[in-house]
């Protein structure tokens, strides 16, 4: 049987570069090489693209780009007729590796925000995950709030501070305090994994939080602090998506920030959330609606809060969530009888199916 030529892209010029290394290590260790011929493409923090032929362990250690013998300059062919990866050989000639499908294991800016998806669309390559528009609107917290609210899906009360407003603290303070009350969460509009996110309990902390968020994005989103149970739901598929069960996050930190997600082993994860069946089904139904409203395909992890009064608040949609074998997305589907390697097969299959469906 002819193997499927799968390009796996990792790294990226993103504040979530390290998370990509963790995710792709799990992917490369689990992928069935009898089914797939894997072509591994690494992107450095500076945005340089390389065909990588070294050991997987070097990716996990972030030493993959340190030895030139494992690397060749590479880029996606801009010609849809070729559908492949162009590689610069040592003698400065060019070669082409034909590709059947791409798995971009990229998180955050330049990977989850529609940029790589647009490049792949132009190049005519099918790829795993949401399309350009869906990726972009899910990534931008301000736009996502507007679209979800218009569809009748409840999110936290919020204020968006644009570049001039976030730089003028008096104006920012007035906008926030007119609509919200402390404490609030302050977030860069276009980061994931809680990068640049702070909790502010007063004006002094609000100013520091806005300054921190502006290091990552010119647009800042300030949200009402939600007191409730943190829940996650995984979605898989295209036109008729499969909705997982509901998982629960119990961080010991004040909120589920970057350290709590990736460094704090005391955070408890429950694959089956400790909530009523009624709430579970309501969250799954809301996840299905949000997936459709936001135009998602392939996959997404959708995060919620369940308030004490029973209100369901959608926090955010992640179109390329953390993807290690122990990440919540994988664990939720494993609990439904879909092991990690089979999950990868399904995602790749949905990418090819979507390309055929789109013509």
CA torsion sign, 164 to 170 to 174 to 177?
A: positive
Distance CA 145, CA 216 (A): 19
Of the candidates 80, 158, 110, the residue with the CA atom closest to the CA atom of residue 355: 80
| Domain definitions of the chain by residue range | 4-127, 137-154+227-358, 158-224
pTM of the model: 0.92
258 phi and psi, to 5 degrees? -60, -45
In the predicted structure, residue 356 carries a pLDDT above the cut 70: no
In the predicted structure, residue 163 carries a pLDDT above the cut 80: no
pLDDT at 346: 98
- Topology alike, domains 4-127 and 137-154+227-358: no
- Beta strand ranges found along the chain (DSSP E): 4-11, 36-43, 49-52, 71-76, 84-88, 94-98, 101-105, 158-161, 184-188, 198-200, 220-224, 228-237, 242-250, 268-270, 298-307, 312-318
Distance CA 250, CA 135 (A): 27
63 phi and psi, to 5 degrees? -115, 10
Distance CA 130, CA 19 (A): 19
Distance of CA 19 to the CA centre of its chain: 10
- Going by pLDDT thresholds of 50, 70 and 90, the confidence category of residue 359 is very low
CA torsion sign, 270 to 275 to 280 to 286?
A: negative
Distance CA 165, CA 116 (A): 30
pLDDT tens digit sequence for 22-45:
999 999 999 999 999 999 999 999
Distance CA 133, CA 151 (A): 17
> To which CATH superfamily is domain 137-154+227-358 assigned?
ATP-grasp fold, B domain (3.30.470.20)
- Going by pLDDT thresholds of 50, 70 and 90, the confidence category of residue 263 is low
**Bridge partner residues of 98 (DSSP):** 84
In the predicted structure, residue 257 carries a pLDDT above the cut 80: no
Six token digits for residue 344: 């990868």
Mean pLDDT of 212-241: 94
- CATH code for the part of the protein at 158-224: 3.30.1490.20
Mean of pLDDT over the chain: 92
Q: Tell which CATH architecture fits domain 4-127.
A: 3-Layer(aba) Sandwich (3.40)
**C-beta of residue 322 within 8 angstroms of C-beta of residue 193:** yes
CA torsion sign, 204 to 207 to 209 to 212?
A: negative
Q: Is 359 exposed, middle or buried (0-12, 13-18, 19+ CB in 10 A)?
A: exposed
């Amino acid at each position: 049987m002819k193997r499927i030529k799968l390009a796996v892209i990792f790294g990226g010029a993103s504040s979530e570069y390290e998370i990509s290394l963790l995710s792709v290590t799990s992917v490369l260790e689990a992928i069935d090489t009898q089914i797939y011929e894997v072509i591994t493409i690494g992107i450095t923090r500076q945005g340089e693209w390389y065909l990588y032929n070294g050991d997987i362990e070097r990716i996990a250690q972030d030493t993959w780009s340190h030895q030139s013998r494992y690397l060749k300059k590479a880029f996606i062919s801009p010609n849809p007729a070729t559908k492949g990866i162009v590689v610069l050989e040592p003698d400065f000639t060019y070669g082409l590796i034909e590709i059947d499908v791409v798995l971009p294991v990229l998180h955050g800016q330049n990977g989850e925000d529609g940029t790589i998806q647009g490049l792949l669309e132009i190049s005519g390559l099918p790829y795993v995950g949401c399309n350009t528009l869906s990726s972009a609107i899910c990534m931008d917290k301000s736009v996502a709030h507007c679209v979800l609210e218009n569809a009748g899906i409840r999110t936290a009360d919020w204020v968006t501070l644009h570049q001039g407003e976030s730089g003028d603290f008096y104006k920012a303070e007035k906008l926030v305090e007119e609509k919200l009350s402390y404490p609030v969460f302050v977030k860069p509009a276009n980061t994931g994994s809680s990068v640049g996110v702070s909790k502010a309990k007063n004006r002094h902390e609000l100013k520091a939080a806005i300054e921190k968020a502006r290091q990552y994005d010119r647009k800042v989103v300030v949200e009402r602090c939600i007191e409730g149970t943190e829940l996650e739901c995984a979605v898989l598929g295209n036109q008729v998506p499969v909705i997982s069960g509901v998982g629960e996050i119990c961080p010991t930190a004040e909120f589920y920030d970057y350290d709590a997600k990736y460094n704090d082993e005391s955070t408890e994860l429950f694959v089956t959330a400790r909530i009523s069946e009624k709430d579970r089904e309501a969250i799954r139904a809301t996840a299905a609606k949000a997936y459709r409203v936001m135009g998602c395909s392939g996959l997404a992890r959708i995060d919620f809060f369940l308030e004490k009064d029973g209100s369901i608040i959608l926090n955010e949609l992640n179109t390329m969530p953390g993807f290690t074998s122990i990440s919540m997305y994988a664990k939720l589907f494993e609990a439904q009888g879909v092991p990690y390697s089979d999950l990868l097969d399904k995602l790749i299959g949905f990418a090819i199916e979507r390309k055929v469906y789109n013509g």
